[in-house]
Chains A and B, each alone.
Chain A
Amino acid sequence: MIVSNEPSFDAPIPGMSLTHELGARPWQTPAQFSTVDETIEYYMGRMTSEEFIQQLIDVLEMGVPVTTVANTIQLSGVMEGKHSVDTGMLVVPLLMEMMMMLAESAGIEYDSGLEDPDKNKTRKTLLAKYAVQYQRELDKVDLDDMVDDKTESEEEEKEPKGLMARRN
């Protein structure tokens, strides 16, 4: 990872979020829809419009996963003050189901986003762990001693085989 030494000034300063008047943002006011049923009704009304379906199909055809789209939709609902974060999380599975149904009805290939792409990959941390273990094992063993022992034992094992060799 490359870490820049130059200071970054393109970030909010500490406490910046507290400088605005409390309640001025939509998500700081009571949500417009307080129940799951109301929220579902709101989303179903939007999702069944022709314009939304066309845009959704375009986005899914580009390879954007359904999970990402559903999360974006519910997050924008929270930011607009339509519902709370909790209600949004409860509604997300239904949004996903609805979007998958729309995609299948349109007959397009889509990525549901439910499969973990890194599932069968070996984790780098796991490799690093085994590398450290291997290094420790190597450090424990004194290779010079092993080489000396081996040569000594080889010398001991050599028995004279000649006709004139001494026999005990």
Chain B
Amino acid sequence: MSRALTDIVLAYKNMDIENLNMPSEKTESKGLLNRTTPATRNLDYSSPAVRVGMQMQTIRKYREQNKNDSV
């Protein structure tokens, strides 16, 4: 595998789109001002990689839906 293709494979594998919208870990505090709704991870939506990831996620969902329909 050539060097350019190795970089592309790494770029694809490192996108980590499965965990893009994962909620952040729940805090253990019990105060009155504690957040009740789970907070999503602080994603920088101005980052190009995140924007690409979001679009990839949409296509991945469609792919999985297609797979499930065909099975």
Contacts and interface: CB of A to CB of B under 8 A. Distances in A.
5 contacts: A35-B48, A90-B48, A92-B12, A113-B5, A114-B9
Taking chain B's interface residues, is the majority helix, strand, or loop, or is none over half, making it mixed?
helix
B1 A116 contact: yes
Interface in A87-122: 87, 89-94, 96-98, 100-101, 104-105, 107, 113-114, 116-118
Contact of B63 (A36, A71, A100, A113): A100
Interface of A: 35-37, 40, 65, 67-68, 70-71, 87, 89-94, 96-98, 100-101, 104-105, 107, 113-114, 116-118
A94 B8 contact: no
A105 B48 contact: no
Contacts, number: 65
Contacts of A113: 1, 5, 9
